[in-house]
Amino acid sequence: MLDIQNLSAAYGKATALENISLNVMPGELVAVLGPNGAGKSTLLKAISRSLSSQGTLTFEGRSLHNVATENVVGLGICHCPEGRRLFPELTVAKNLQLGAYLRNDKQAVADDMQRVFELFPILSERGSQIVSTLSGGQQQMVAIGRALMGGPKLLLLDEPSVGIAHRLKMEIFAAIQQIRSRGVAILMAEQDAQSALHIADRVYVLEHGNVAQTGFAKDLAQDDRIRRIYLGLD
């Protein structure tokens, strides 16, 4: 579904990704792990075309290099970015609706809104609440919900659990599994290696803009050396 070969990206002269190769199959949940500054967010930004990059970037057989950021959603790639980037002074419902701004299929949009509320029941009670007054975990739910309102085939999630209380974090990981079980492929950057290994099919570990390790989550989870050196786990 997503095929990346030798992808490089930089901020000015500072290289952030160096010849990364990675793929995501339909319906797969792939985790991108690695320490702060490894290049995880840069990778997701390159895929959603919010940052320019060099190399091969193909989605469903089509090169993304000539696709503008605003057209990526229309192809079915929805990015839930680092830091959520919500409209804090707007309501929950308005933020969710904004995720569907490119869609004309009103009934399908209404159905998707319903599915977001089923996924995160707390949001259905908070539809008219101003987003800035929600907890961090609830805001993350809105951010994921908004990305779902774009109707993704591939959902890009950037550290969905960062800075969130444990209970809400578990709810968010459970929701991510549900999204995947509906057939949406997911590429998720995450620093919580333990939780990510539990739900992912495959994993890429980034270090200094390179792929340091890759494999099936269940294999990496059982490899003591990889757990210790690459995942920071005992």
Residues that bind ligand ADP in the complex, under the rule CB under 6 A: 11, 14, 16, 34, 36-42
78 binds, options Mg ion, ligand ADP, none, Cβ within 5 to 8 A by partner type = none
Answer left, alpha or beta for residue 31, where phi above 0 means left and psi between -120 and 50 means alpha: beta
CB 158 to Mg ion: min, Å: 6
Computed from CA positions of residues 189, 191, 196, 202, in that sequence, does the dihedral angle turn out positive or negative?
Answer: positive
Q: State the DSSP code for 112.
A: H
Closest CA to 18 of 3, 5, 8: 8
Calpha distance 130→91 (Å, rounded): 4
Calpha distance 151→142 (Å, rounded): 15
Nearest to ligand ADP of 42, 48 (CB atom): 42
34 binds, options ligand ADP, Mg ion, none, Cβ within 5 to 8 A by partner type = ligand ADP
Burial class (CB in 10 A: 0-12, 13-18, 19+), 122: middle
CB 40 to Mg ion: min, Å: 5
CB 24 to ligand ADP: min, Å: 18
68 binds, options Mg ion, ligand ADP, none, Cβ within 5 to 8 A by partner type = none
Nearest to ligand ADP of 36, 104 (CB atom): 36
Q: At what angle do helices 166-181 and 136-148 cross, to 10 degrees?
A: 10
Residue 226 has a CB neighbour count (10 Å cut-off) of 18
For Mg ion, which residue has the nearest CB? 41
Nearest-5° Cα angle at 53, 35 to 12: 75
Nearest to ligand ADP of 45, 202 (CB atom): 45
Residues that bind Mg ion (CB under 5 A): 40-41, 82
Nearest to ligand ADP of 158, 171 (CB atom): 158
CB 20 to ligand ADP: min, Å: 11
CB 188 to ligand ADP: min, Å: 12
Nearest to ligand ADP of 32, 113 (CB atom): 32
